Amino acid sequence: MHNVEQVLENRILQLSFNRLERKNAITAEMYGALAQALDKANSDPAVRVVLMTGQPGIFTSGNDIQDFLENPPTGIQSPVFRFLDALSHLEKPLVAAVDGLAVGVGTTLLLHCDLVYATPEARFQLPFVNLGLVPEAASSLLLPQIAGYQRAAEMLLLGEVFSAEQALTAGLVNAIVPSHQLLEHALGIAHKLVERPAQALRLTKCLLKQPYLSQIEQVMQAEGELFIRQLTSPEAKEAFAAFIEKRKPDFSKLG
């Protein structure tokens, strides 16, 4: 699918958000394509490493709000949840290269990556509360583990934009790389991983992830149920209406 570009070269599967006209906003169809690609990568011996990228200047602005309202997730088989499940169960090394905006799922998906590289221009945001929603992708579990409780609370409760330097300090990214070197650097790291013994890599990743996997599954399910419930709440309805009408939401008369 052209909105999710898939290139397999030198045993590296590169998955790129490719919808620049909408700031790489992700539709249900794109989530489905990503889920399918990750599931296939797990069983395809031709794939040794997965690399997720956006385009120069934009990783992803998160969910396409219009598509999201027209095709809201209704259960665990919805495309977004199938993508998150595939992401959390990927057995092969996953590298991400982030330039520009990484909003919502554009940030939470990074919590499941093994190695993350960002440019100085990268900007991250977890605006779930601002939209009357709750975190997803097990970020309510993983973010405190990675960044510490106070930093995670600041990111999730305030939902404000934070910089690449802040992401580095919080442990969300491994290194900051100049924008003109980002893809080359990430591909270089991916090539290093391709050269390592494949079985040892998979087993090592399994050992790193295994202690938390059942917790991730439970938290992701709990988040998903609350997320779906909140979608129909007065708070979310006001937030989405304000977004579409390009005005500031007013939550003062709600709960």
Global pTM value: 0.96
> What is the residue-level pLDDT of the chain in tens, covering all 255 positions?
579 999 999 999 999 999 999 999 999 999 999 999 999 999 999 999 999 999 999 999 999 988 988 889 988 889 999 999 999 999 999 999 999 999 999 999 999 999 999 999 999 999 999 999 999 999 999 999 999 999 999 999 999 999 999 999 999 999 999 999 999 999 999 999 999 999 999 999 999 999 999 999 999 999 999 999 999 999 999 999 998 899 999 998 786
Cα torsion angle, 208, 190, 41, 15, sign: positive
Domains of the chain (ranges; CATH) run 1-179+198-255 (3.90.226.10)
Are 79 and 26 spatial neighbours (Cβ–Cβ below 8 Å)?
no
Strand pairing category for 49-53 and 58-60: unpaired
User: What is the Cα–Cα distance from 145 to 234, expressed in whole angstroms?
Assistant: 31
Q: In what order do the strands lie in the sheet with 94-98?
A: 4-9, 12-17, 49-53, 94-98, 115-118, 175-176
Are 72 and 113 spatial neighbours (Cβ–Cβ below 8 Å)?
no
What per-residue confidence (pLDDT) applies to 1?
A: 55
Provide DSSP, 178-228: -GGGHHHHHHHHHHHHHHS-HHHHHHHHHHHHHHHHHHHHHHHHHHHHHHH
What per-residue confidence (pLDDT) applies to 75?
A: 85
Tokens encoding 209: 């992830």
User: What is the Cα–Cα distance from 24 to 238, expressed in whole angstroms?
Assistant: 24
Largest CA distance in the chain: 59
Are 73 and 117 spatial neighbours (Cβ–Cβ below 8 Å)?
no
* Distances 25 to 66, 91, 108 between C-alpha atoms, Å: 10, 26, 14
